[in-house]
Amino acid sequence: MGKPTGFLEYERKVSKDVPPKQRIRNFNEFHEHLPMEEQQLQGARCMDCGVPFCQSGMTLCGMTSGCPLHNLVPEWNDLVYTGNWQQAYNRLHKTNNFPEFTSRVCPALCEAACTCNLTGAPVSTKENEYAIIENAYAQGYAAPKPPRVRTGKSVAVVGSGPSGLAVADQLNRRGHTVTVFERSDRVGGLLMYGIPNMKLEKHIIDRKIKVMEEEGVTFVTGVDIGRDKKASQLLKEYDRVVLACGSSNPRDISAPGRDAKGIYFAVDFLTRNTKSLLDSGFADKKYVDTNGKDVVIIGGGDTGNDCVGTAIRHGAKSVTQIEMMPKAPDTRAENNPWPEWPKVCKTDYGQEEAIAVYGHDPRIYESTVQEFIKDKNGELKSVKIVRLAWEKDETTGRMNMKPVEGSEQEIPAQIVLIAAGFLGSQKYVTDAFKVELDQRTNVKTEAGRFKTSVDNVFVTGDMHTGQSLVVKAIRQGRECAREVDESLMGYTNLYIQ
Domain count, the chain: 3
Cα–Cα distance, 240 to 229 (Å, whole number): 16
* Nearest alpha carbon to residue 75 among 29, 128, 15: 128
| Mean pLDDT to the nearest integer, 44-60 | 92
Higher pLDDT among residues 116 and 496, named by residue:
116
Whether 348 is in a domain gets the answer yes
CATH number at residue 43: 1.10.1060.10
- Give the pLDDT of residue 1: 63
Under DSSP, the state recorded for 418 is: E
What percentage of the chain exceeds 90 in pLDDT? 93
| Mean pLDDT to the nearest integer, 145-158 | 98
Do residues 27 and 123 share a domain?
Answer: yes
Indicate whether 424 pLDDT > 90.
Answer: no
Do residues 278 and 385 share a domain?
Answer: yes
- List CB contacts of 81: < 8 A, sequence separation 6 or more: 2, 3, 6, 40, 41, 43, 44, 46
> What's the gap between Cα 180 and its chain centre?
20
Whether 148 is in a domain gets the answer no
Do residues 302 and 409 share a domain?
Answer: yes
The DSSP bridge partners found for residue 53 are none
Last residue of a domain, one of 105, 139, 173: 139
Do residues 159 and 73 share a domain?
Answer: no
Residues 492 and 486 sit within 8 Å (Cβ to Cβ): yes
Do residues 123 and 45 share a domain?
Answer: yes
Do residues 414 and 432 share a domain?
Answer: no
Do residues 225 and 314 share a domain?
Answer: no
Q: How many residues does the chain have?
A: 497
Assess whether the previous peptide bond of 339 is cis (omega < 30° from 0). yes
Q: What is the pTM of this model?
A: 0.96
- Give the pLDDT of residue 488: 98
Whether 145 is in a domain gets the answer no
Please give the helix or strand (H or E) that residue 355 lies within, else none: helix 349-358
Cα–Cα distance, 310 to 270 (Å, whole number): 8
| Mean pLDDT to the nearest integer, 287-306 | 97
Whether 147 is in a domain gets the answer no
* Nearest alpha carbon to residue 41 among 87, 77, 16: 77
CATH number at residue 388: 3.50.50.60
Residue ranges making up the domain that contains 158: 154-248+423-489
Cα–Cα distance, 171 to 167 (Å, whole number): 6
SS3 2: coil
Distance, first Cα to last Cα, the chain? 20
Cα–Cα distance, 329 to 333 (Å, whole number): 7
Last residue of a domain, one of 139, 166, 192: 139
Number of neighbours of residue 4 by Cβ within 10 angstroms: 11
| Mean pLDDT to the nearest integer, 418-424 | 92
Strand bridging mode 415-418 / 294-298: parallel
Q: What are phi and psi of 440, to 5 degrees?
A: -100, 15
Last residue of a domain, one of 139, 167, 194: 139
SS3 462: helix
List pLDDT tens digits, range 211-221.
999 999 999 99
- Give the pLDDT of residue 496: 72
Whether 452 is in a domain gets the answer yes
- Give the pLDDT of residue 2: 72
Do residues 404 and 483 share a domain?
Answer: no
Do residues 295 and 244 share a domain?
Answer: no
Where does the pLDDT of residue 361 fall: very low under 50, low under 70, confident under 90, or very high at 90 and above? very high
Cα dihedral sign, 376-322-439-478:
positive
Indicate whether 497 pLDDT > 70.
Answer: no
* Nearest alpha carbon to residue 468 among 440, 489, 434, 435: 440
Do residues 281 and 414 share a domain?
Answer: yes
Whether 478 is in a domain gets the answer yes
| Mean pLDDT to the nearest integer, 37-64 | 93
Do residues 220 and 114 share a domain?
Answer: no
CA distances from 4 to 10, 45, 72, 115, 273 (A): 12, 8, 18, 14, 48
Whether 243 is in a domain gets the answer yes
Do residues 392 and 281 share a domain?
Answer: yes
Average pLDDT over the chain reads: 96
- Give the pLDDT of residue 495: 79
User: 158-197 in b/e burial notation, b at 16+ Cβ within 10 A?
Assistant: bbbbbbbbbbbbbbbbbbbbbbbbbbbebbbbbbbbbbbb
- List CB contacts of 377: < 8 A, sequence separation 6 or more: 261
